[in-house]
Structure 1
Amino acid sequence: MILRVLFFIFVYIPIMVVGIPMMFVITRLGLYWHGPVQLFHWAGCKFLGMKVNVIGAPSHDRATLIVSNHISWTDIIAIGSKADVTFVAKSEIAKWPFVGFMASLQRTLYVDRKKRSDAARASKEMGKRMASGGAVLLFAEGQSDLGTHVLPFRSALIGAAQHAMEEAGAGEVLIQPLTIAYTKLQGLPVGRTDRSFIAWIKSKSVKQNIREIMTGGTREVTLAFGTPRPLSSGANRKELAKQTETEVRRMLVALNRGTPLPVAAE
């Protein structure tokens, strides 16, 4: 814990002091530079005691819809340290102190799930990002989970992305599965009881969850990127959701068990 405090004081704070004003000016000018964002997330991983392993590679410089499982708010820090993506988040996060401000600097797209009209607006923004050749990441379960299994992917989210893609004129779009797995805690395999100190358990408050993660031991998280595939406007969204869900589930089971990753069906 002492090392984390020293890292926060002498590394993390200086990065924020320089990086935050820089990103604020850049975003106000309508520009974007991933370098400072990635550095911030890298420092966040170090501060939280996370070692991030990557299998495969995120799609870069191409219009891509990345669909992933979701375990904790630390998923965003882990992914942000390795990939240049636009996150889609619930609107409540925009109001969180500091977190909402930092998420906005990263061009996070917010959606109010209670309003259909807002979902349509967010979908259009997703389409614009993909049309410009960027990657948009969806936590396709629609909520976080313990990390032992994958909840059903919501086909409506993929369908909305398809529709937005058409409207924005994004021709060749890829869909890429991503599996997030927390595999080790203090160097040992993560057991089911350990996952309550990693995942965002709904029975716990945000403050309690943050405190447990910050005071907990070091953890290893693996990001396994699957093979990108073409996402056509006329593809069956339910079939696509099921295919990517199955691939993410297979990879999660293998990573949790420490066995070789399965080969995706063509």
Structure 2
Amino acid sequence: MIWRIVFFVVVTIPLMLAIVLCQSIVLALKLKNWNFFPRLAHKLVCFNLGIKVIQIGKPASDKPTLLVSNHISWLDIPAIGSIVPISYVAKSEVGRWPIVGFLANLQKTIFVDRQKKTDTGRVAHEMGERMSDGRAVVLFAEGTSDIGLHVLPFRSALVGSTQAAMKNDHVSEMYIQPMVIAYTHLNGLPISAAERSKIAWIGDMGIEDNIGDILRVGTKSTTVMFGEPIAIARDDDRKMITKNAEEKVREMLVAINRQTPLPPAHLG
């Protein structure tokens, strides 16, 4: 734990400051490769926190895509962000968290205020705009986080952003892609239920306590799996789309946790 703190102070912070400067220039000039520096930042954080990411399948490319995923920990953000160029949808509080909020803002995260029911419409519209421009967006569709053994029911409200995007005349196709993240091993050994609670963000846990636990538990092997993209039609039922994606994510999570194979179609 001590060396991680030293590395963070001596190496990570100076590099992050340089990344912020470079990313600010990229965003100001509206350059296309805006995701290069955020991915670099996420890789740096993963190294510092001992996150080893294993990727199965691949995200849809050159297609307007909404990635719908389970959610376990704030570690999901750097783990996923280190391997794919995407934007997130997150609750507004995340933007105020140390480190996590910084990474989220670098990734052009779309923040939603859950205290305002009217904010859902704004967020869905912004998600639709991002996807209609060909940029993938990640939605943690459970609306909360879980310990990593189960997939909670998905909320359908923001999944409707796919139809919102298709209202644009230049968008002829839209996809939803199931994605799952799972923490499988600590220091090379299968993770136990007790150890999962030291990684997962559960209930009203304070971020300081959670960061302390994460720094103490060593190397974390993390699997990110991408399922087959599902084509969406303008008149598809939003709740049925959401339910279908939820079932696919649950199937993938069970397969990873039990180390059982999925049919080849699920591997991208």
TM-score (normalizing by structure 2):
0.92
Q: Answer whether contact 1:145 1:199 (CA < 8 A) is retained.
A: yes
C-alpha separation in 1, matches of 2:137 and 2:9: 33
Q: 1:262 to 1:251 in 2, by over 3 A?
A: farther
Q: Secondary structure at the match of 1:197?
A: coil
Deviation at 1:154, TM superposition (A): 1.1
Partner in structure 1 of residue 17 of structure 2 = 17
Q: Deviations over 1:133-160 (max 9, x none)?
A: 110110011111110000011122212x
Q: Answer whether contact 1:27 1:105 (CA < 8 A) is retained.
A: no
Partner in structure 1 of residue 166 of structure 2 = 166
Partner in structure 1 of residue 92 of structure 2 = 91
Q: Answer whether contact 2:78 2:103 (CA < 8 A) is retained.
A: no
Does residue 149 (structure 1) correspond to residue 128 (structure 2)? The answer is: no
Q: Answer whether contact 1:67 1:176 (CA < 8 A) is retained.
A: yes
Aligned-partner residue type, residue 221 of structure 1: T
Structure 1 gap ranges (5+): none
C-alpha separation in 1, matches of 2:158 and 2:123: 11
Q: 1:204 to 1:115 in 2, by over 3 A?
A: closer
Q: Secondary structure at the match of 2:27?
A: helix
Q: 1:98 to 1:195 in 2, by over 3 A?
A: closer
C-alpha separation in 2, matches of 1:260 and 1:202: 32
Deviation at 1:208, TM superposition (A): 0.5
Partner in structure 1 of residue 247 of structure 2 = 246
Q: Answer whether contact 2:146 2:152 (CA < 8 A) is retained.
A: yes
Aligned-partner residue type, residue 212 of structure 1: D
Q: Answer whether contact 1:124 1:164 (CA < 8 A) is retained.
A: yes
C-alpha separation in 2, matches of 1:98 and 1:140: 23
- Equivalence map 1:114-125=2 (5 Å): 114-125=115-126
TM-score (normalizing by structure 1):
0.92
Q: 1:145 to 1:262 in 2, by over 3 A?
A: farther
Aligned-partner residue type, residue 166 of structure 1: M
Partner in structure 2 of residue 204 of structure 1 = 205
Aligned-partner residue type, residue 190 of structure 1: I
**Greater CA drift, 202-211 or 9-18:** 9-18
Does residue 236 (structure 1) correspond to residue 233 (structure 2)? The answer is: no
Deviation at 1:94, TM superposition (A): 2.1
Partner in structure 1 of residue 101 of structure 2 = 100
Aligned-partner residue type, residue 252 of structure 1: L
C-alpha separation in 2, matches of 1:2 and 1:98: 18
Provide the identity percentage.
49
Deviation at 1:34, TM superposition (A): 1.2
- Equivalence map 1:217-228=2 (5 Å): 217-228=218-229
Partner in structure 1 of residue 29 of structure 2 = 29
Q: Deviations over 1:223-242 (max 9, x none)?
A: 01001121222112222111
Q: Could you say what the CA RMSD is over the residues aligned between the two structures, in angstroms? A: 1.9
Structure 2 gap ranges (5+): none
Q: Deviations over 1:25-48 (max 9, x none)?
A: 222334452111111101111111
Q: Answer whether contact 2:67 2:137 (CA < 8 A) is retained.
A: yes
Q: Deviations over 1:80-112 (max 9, x none)?
A: 000111100111122334543442232110111
Q: 1:259 to 1:224 in 2, by over 3 A?
A: same
Q: Deviations over 1:36-89 (max 9, x none)?
A: 111110111111111100000012232101000000000011000001111001
Aligned-partner residue type, residue 173 of structure 1: M
C-alpha separation in 2, matches of 1:117 and 1:31: 32
C-alpha separation in 1, matches of 2:75 and 2:100: 12
C-alpha separation in 1, matches of 2:167 and 2:70: 27
C-alpha separation in 2, matches of 1:203 and 1:236: 34
Q: Answer whether contact 1:255 1:261 (CA < 8 A) is retained.
A: no
C-alpha separation in 2, matches of 1:102 and 1:117: 26
Partner in structure 1 of residue 176 of structure 2 = 175
Aligned-partner residue type, residue 84 of structure 1: P
The count of residues paired between Structure 1 and Structure 2 equals 264
